[in-house]
Amino acid sequence: MPAGTKFVAIPDRGGKRVGSGGATLEVLKYLHEQEEDFEGLRVLVIHSGGDSKRVPQYSALGKFFSPVPHKLPNGRNSTLFDEFMISMSSVPSRIREGMVLLSGDVLLLFNPLQIDYNNVGAAAISFKENVETGKNHGVYLNGENGNVKCCLQKKSVEVLREVGAVNELDCVDIDTGALIFSTDMMRSLYSLIATEEDYDRHVNEKTRLSLYADILYPLAEDSTLEDFYQEKPEGEFCEELTEARERVWKVLRPYRMKLLRLSPAKFIHFGTTREILALMSGGVNEYSDLGWSRLVGSSIRNNAAGYNSVLSSKASVGSDCYLEVSYVHGNSKIGDRCVLSYIDIQDRIIPDGIVLHGLKQRDGRFIVRIFGVNDNPKENLLFGRDLDELERNFDVKFWENQPHTLWSANLYAEADTIQEAVDASLELYAAVTGEKVFDRDSWNAVSHKSLCAGFNDADPDAIIAWNRRMEDLVAMDEIAKAIHNQVPVDQIGKRHLLTKIQKEWVRKRLKKADFSEKMRLHYYLGMVLDDENEIQKCFQTIQSEVLESTIKNLVYNEKSRIVSERHTVKLPLRVNWGGGWSDTPPYCNENGGTVLNVAILLNGEKPVEVTLERIDDLKVIFDSRDMDVHGEFDTIEPLQMTGDPFDPFALQKACLLACGIIPREGHELSEILKRLGDGFVMHSEVTNVPKGSGLGTSSILSAACVKAVFEFMGIAYTEEDLYSHVLAMEQIMSTGGGWQDQVGGITPGLKYITSMPGLEQKIKVTHVEIPEETKRELDERFVLIYTGQRRLARNLLRDVVGRYVGNEPDSLFALEEIQKTAALMRFELERGNVDGFAKLLDYHWELSKKVDAGSSNTLIEQIFSSIEDLIDGKLVCGAGGGGFLQVILKKGVLKQEVEEHLNNVFMDSLVCVADCRLVW
């Protein structure tokens, strides 16, 4: 997560249950106290305040921090919290601002890159599920305008069909519990508690507003106030709740809730001990592609599942067992289908179907809670026996003015050691099951706690200490040798801090290091020390040195003049066929690059358009219709401020600087414009091309800007001038991109593009001539597919460059092989062998995934899989991870067949065949 991310745990008011809606208002109150306004905030709210009654071994941890069978990349064992952060980490890039809300006991597995939310009203994240599953959950009914028409909670199949919630494939839009609120809606909700009096009225144990019943209900199109009053509450019906609902209706009814239908998607419910045992004793295999495993950080040699646990050689464990942060040693024998959690077992026999969980209390004593795998602590049964009946038979008191449930029954003896507590729990089991006569005197001699009291009195520091791990240390000279010998950085041990001597060593080494060693030294230090500042210095070194070499020949052009009233440049897009990534710094600077690409039209048009127009005012105006931004500048300083990727005019400013129209520093804008012969407007637009398309739109737009400026200002240029100026723009904007995109758009047809090693890249473009018959065949067999999702190149560049700089073997091999593949592609096309080209495209796809695992994802793999029998070759466009995909059809296959296959699998999503034409 970004370094500025703030994590906060907010308890219910006064320790009383205030409902999930009340808790949401508590969050808004906290945010308002910190920021006063919600603008610009991106907030993830996870409702995780339950007691974990049905999985008591996670009560003290908090179910949200329960173990998950996954070892994280940093070597730490994962928790449900970690998995939430992983699955949700891409969401902030999909929303400009607002609040995402989730339920803390359901892990959603979906692709956040499909989220399309414009910060208006609310949005509900949904995915397709069979109606038989949907009847046991919430189902959304979609309105004609894409908003939620109504929310159907646990309705029968017949009712779901009757209201039109079931599609032709017997699927419904299921309620995942994931929601997004806009900043305006956050403000409206906050208005409910803006005063202390309003806060008291809405956030309390009696009103207990529900997020789903009280806040979502008014957002559905078909909701009515009369029906709202009758919605089942989280607490009890009361006058206070009715009045609160009336106020909630008033502030929320103006909003609507968009339905975001994502595919594919799945959820995992960590609801009961039985579900967790089923997951660990076999179900985990379904999630092996996520890196989940039956054994995580454990020393276990039989078929038991383990999480941070040890099973000694003399001990034995039965079938379908799960050891969790536990030590089983001596001659212990564990029965079948047992769960051991935070426990130490020595020379003990544990019966079948048992859960044992140890807890150290704040007073230093221990309790071990024992119950059956199938027991529900919300009920009144223990090992199948009625607790009221046992209480009468034993002639003891399990409860004192408490609900008669297993959760609140005082059954578990306090002991001085964990082994004594284990023995006490086994004595309880024997008495309850009738294996041993109950000893009332021994029972009365010690105090007992319930599942509830045991977790309330647990020592959290002891839980943390039980899990603690340490990192190894690595000497500084080993880092230098690793860099020299191309040892991957992930094979280097971790360090915490550098000593004074080590810091001095780094300073001297950096002073004499060349470009290659300097960037790698920063990167290795950053990875070894987990120091983001050092990693950033690596990328700053790349940017600054490449920028310096790129712009050294760029000068302020004092002779340019406006030569026309209006001038327009239109450019096509490009698809990359071979060599992608080899054109990207620093790889191309150290090794040179080789790329094969071709220009394309989308929807029959050249979608990139830049128009420059003279105006009478002495000002510079930027107007971007597709971005819906407009800016006017009458002073020069704002135009010279670059490097901010979130600046809506970063590209236009970089263009004027790179072309020498605006100097990098100093001067007066009015004087420059007088010399030019008036002010001007730069209109820029990319028409009908989704963001993050992978078709090179950003760099081609840069190229169009440079070309338009040169021609509008009467500046003579060559194609090589265009390439070098756009590359300078990329470095000025700090996007770190390569050079193939702008070449693909500026130069028509099929191009073979190369460069030699060096900080200053000299680009050589060769136009590839192929037979006319081959062109026709490619026109028929080439298909472009839109995935409906996007991924920002800036985000993945860091990962790809890091893998290269960190000497990751797969990355080094793939980047070298990719260049050779581009050359072989040219060879096959020149001799008219489209089948051979298609095979190379497939091989390139495998190489691309070695360069960046993020170039593919579940959606992309599913798209390719769904049309596998129709295609001979496949590759992502651009860096991948979203945008467009490209395929070569088998001979005789029609594009319509691909469209039909995709429609059958992806239904209402945005996945589709694009209208694309190769430009020869």
SS3 category, 108 = strand
Summarize the confidence of residues 485-496 as an average pLDDT: 83
> Would you state the structure tokens that stand for residue 650, as one six-digit string?
């970063």
- The CATH code of domain 772-919 reads 3.30.70.890
Question: How far is 142 from 65, CA to CA, in rounded Å?
Answer: 35
Q: pLDDT band for position 133 (50/70/90)?
A: confident
List Cα–Cα distances, 306 to 317, 325, 414, 443, 750, in angstroms.
11, 8, 27, 34, 55
Amino acid at 35: E
| Token pair 């800016």: residue | 631
Q: How far apart are CA 138 and CA 232, in angstroms?
A: 14
What tokens does 744 get?
A: 């693909």
Position 301 pLDDT exceeds 80: no
Please give the pLDDT value at position 570.
96
Residue 796 pLDDT: 66
Of 47, 56, 46, the residue nearest 324 (C-alpha): 56
> What are the angstrom distances between the C-alpha of 389 and each of 382, 402, 444?
11, 16, 18
Q: What is the 3-state secondary structure (H, E, C) of 489-550?
A: HHHCCCCCCCCHHHHHHHHHHHHHCCHHHHHHHHHHHHHHHCCHHHHHHHHHHHHHHHHHHH
The residue extents of the domains of the chain are 13-125+175-217+233-267, 270-467, 476-530, 566-767, 772-919
Q: Which 8-state DSSP code applies to residue 846?
A: H
d(CA 703, CA 41): 34
Is the CB of residue 831 less than 8 Å from the CB of residue 774? no
Contacts of 836 (CB under 8 A, 6+ apart): 828
Look at residue 46 in the predicted model and tell me its pLDDT. Answer: 92
- pLDDT score recorded for residue 147: 94
Determine how β-strand 884-889 pairs with β-strand 566-571.
Answer: unpaired
Nearest Cα residue to 326 out of 357, 301, 352, 351: 357
Identify the CATH number of the domain defined by range 566-767: 3.30.230.10
Residue 576 confidence (pLDDT) above 50: yes
In sequence order, which ranges of 643-792 are alpha helices (DSSP H)? 650-658, 669-676, 697-712, 719-732, 740-746, 772-781
**Choice between 221 and 330, residue whose per-residue pLDDT is larger:** 221
**pLDDT over 90 at 203, yes or no:** yes
Using omega within 30 degrees of 0 as the cis cutoff, is the peptide bond preceding 586 cis?
A: yes
Answer whether 0.95 is exceeded by the pTM.
Answer: no
Question: Is residue 552 very low, low, confident or very high in pLDDT (cuts 50, 70, 90)?
Answer: confident
Amino acid letter at 307? Answer: Y
User: Is the pLDDT at 473 greater than 70, yes or no?
Assistant: no
Query: What pLDDT, on the 0 to 100 scale, is given for residue 29?
Result: 95
Contact call for residues 488 and 807 (beta carbons, < 8 A): yes
Higher pLDDT, 714 or 733: 714
User: Structure tokens of 425?
Assistant: 């729990």
In angstroms, rounded to a whole number, what is the distance separating the alpha carbons of residues 585 and 515? 12
CB distance 148 to 141 below 8 Å: yes
Q: Is the pLDDT of residue 716 over 50?
A: yes
Could you tell me the CA-to-CA distances from 91 to 9, 98, 114 in Å, in that order?
A: 20, 11, 9
Least reliable range by pLDDT among 441-450, 507-516, 586-595: 507-516
- Beta-bridge partner residues of 125: 178, 260
Contact 320, 282 (CB under 8 A): yes
**Region 64-83 average pLDDT:** 88
CB contact at 8 A, 837 and 853: no
Sheet of 884-889, strand order: 871-876, 884-889, 782-786, 912-913
709 and 651 in contact (C-beta within 8 Å)?
no
203 Cβ contact list (under 8 Å, min separation 6)? 13, 18, 22, 25, 26, 29, 193, 209
Structure tokens at 647: 């600046």
CA distances from 293 to 81, 286, 306 (A): 17, 10, 9
CA–centroid distance for 813 within its chain: 27
Residue range 762-787, pLDDT digits in tens: 899 999 999 999 999 999 999 999 99
Q: What's 24-62 look like in SS3?
A: HHHHHHHHHHHHCCCCCCEEEEEECCCCCCCCHHHCCCC
Q: What are 359's two structure tokens? A: 């807890």
Whole-Å CA distances, 158 to 144, 152, 231, 232: 22, 12, 21, 22
Residue 306 identity: G
Q: pLDDT-derived band of residue 475, with 50, 70 and 90 as boundaries?
A: very low
> What was the pLDDT predicted at 736?
63
| pLDDT of 24 above 60 | yes
**Per-residue DSSP letters for 638-663?**
GGG----TT-TTHHHHHHHHHTTSS-
pLDDT score of 821 more than 50 = yes
What pLDDT was estimated at residue 505?
79
Burial class (CB in 10 A: 0-12, 13-18, 19+), 349: exposed
CA torsion, ordered 412, 418, 420, 425, to nearest 10 deg:
30
Give residue-wise pLDDT tens across range 397-435.
999 888 999 999 999 999 999 999 999 999 999 999 999
CB 678 within 8 A of CB 618: yes
Averaged pLDDT score across all residues of the chain: 90
Q: How many CB atoms lie within 10 A of CB 668?
A: 11
Write the pLDDT tens digit of every residue in 597-606. 999 999 999 9
Q: What is the largest CA-CA distance in the chain?
A: 105
The angle that helices 515-529 and 793-805 make with each other, rounded to 10 degrees, is 100
Percent of the chain with pLDDT over 70: 97
- Is residue 691 pLDDT above 90, yes or no? no
Inter-axis angle of helices 697-712 and 719-732, nearest 10: 120
**Tally of CB atoms within 10 A around 521:** 21
Tokens (6 digits) for 385:
């026996």
Q: Facing residues of 456 across strands?
A: none
Mean pLDDT of 6-18: 90
**Pairing relationship of beta strands 344-346 and 327-329 according to DSSP bridges:** parallel
Summarize pLDDT for 432-471 with one digit per residue, the tens.
999 999 999 999 999 999 999 999 999 989 888 776 532 3
589 contacts: CB under 8 Å, gap ≥ 6:
515, 546, 757, 758, 759, 761
* pLDDT score, position 792: 54
* pLDDT mean over 199-224: 93
Phi, psi of 895 (to 5 degrees): -60, -30
DSSP 565-615: SEEEEEE-EEEEEE-TTTTSTTHHHHH-EEEEEEEEEETTB--EEEEEEEE
Report the alpha-carbon distance of residue 357 to residue 352 in Å, rounded: 15
